[in-house]
Amino acid sequence: MSVVMRRILAGVCLGVFLSAGLASLASAQSRGRGGQDQGDDQQTAADREKKDEEWGNRSLNLKKLKAEGPCPYVKVLYDAARYHQFKNDVQTTAAAMWTGEINGIQSECAYTGTDPIQVGMDVSFSLGRGPQAEGQTNVYHYWIAVTERDKTVLAKQEFELPVTFAEGQQKIDVNTRLEGIYIPRKDITVSGSNFEVLIGFDVTPKMAEFNREGKHFRYVSPVEKKPAE
């Protein structure tokens, strides 16, 4: 596991506010899953009321707001960009159980004066069910971390992404909208370029090594067998 990975997994909250609304997966939309919902909004009325009182409900219109400076760098951590679970740790397509990949992120931010930096993002996932998977449902775990650029981890929060595959279905694409990341600023001179927002799957050291080696599971039909590359 890389030094960066260890730092993120050990990160603790030091002032960045990741709201309860960020954990909601109500906005997650998947294609090719027969219209099944992948999650429900778990944010309580009390959480919403508190957030509205503290932040004026501004995140609801985040895309319409402007930033007076550069936005934080938002990226996928390479070591945790893909998730590959194999039966008995045999790294072959035939032994694949559950797989996942973070395909991309579109993000935006907003802040004026000395206000906190608000960050929102749309994250796209491709999730797979391999030949050795048991059952039709799996819960994927991923995290978001906010850091000072190339320095200290300021906050980290973990999330669950439950998905159910239809009979015979091997792949599901899911798009998730995440908001509620607030980064306090000491003064007006502190811009978004001082921070990074990282995202990745919760992976084991072996999974991280598999990713660093550039290997990748390819989704195949039952009649086509290809080794991991």
pLDDT tens for each residue of 91-113: 888 889 999 999 999 999 999 88
Q: Residue 183, CB half-sphere, CA atoms under 13 Å: how many?
A: 29
Q: What is the pLDDT of residues 158-172, one digit of tens each?
A: 999 999 999 989 999
Give me Rg for the CA atoms of the chain. Answer: 19
Residue 126 corresponds to which amino acid?
A: S
Question: Any residues with CB less than 8 A from the CB of 188 and at least 6 apart, and which?
Answer: 113, 114
Residues 200-224 have a mean pLDDT of: 75
Task: Give the pLDDT mean for 2-22.
Answer: 41
**Structure tokens, 196:** 């990074």
- State the alpha helices, DSSP H only, in the chain: 3-9, 45-55, 205-212
Strands 195-201 and 73-76, sheet pairing = parallel
Token pair, residue 69, equals 């400076």
DSSP codes joined into one string, 188-204: TT--GGGEEEEEEE---
Instruction: Using alpha carbons, select from 27, 32, 15 the residue that is nearest to residue 166.
Output: 32
Inter-residue contact 165 to 33 (CB < 8 Å) = yes
pLDDT higher than threshold 80 for residue 73: yes
Tell me the CA distances in angstroms from 158 to 40, 110, 161, 207, one per residue in order. Answer: 17, 23, 10, 18
Spatial distance between the Cα atoms of 55 and 57, rounded to a whole number of angstroms: 5
Alpha carbon of 75 to those of 42, 48, 186: distances in Å?
A: 26, 28, 24
* Residue for token pair 């090594």: 209
Q: Please state, in angstroms and rounded to a whole number, the distance separating the CA atoms of residues 59 and 24.
A: 14
Whole-number Å distance between alpha carbons of 117 and 72: 9
Where does the pLDDT of residue 186 fall: very low under 50, low under 70, confident under 90, or very high at 90 and above? Answer: confident
Are residues 204 and 159 in contact, defined by beta-carbon separation less than 8 angstroms? no
Which tokens belong to 191? 């811009």
* 71, pLDDT greater than 50: yes
CB 18 within 8 A of CB 222: no
Does pLDDT of 51 surpass 80?
A: no
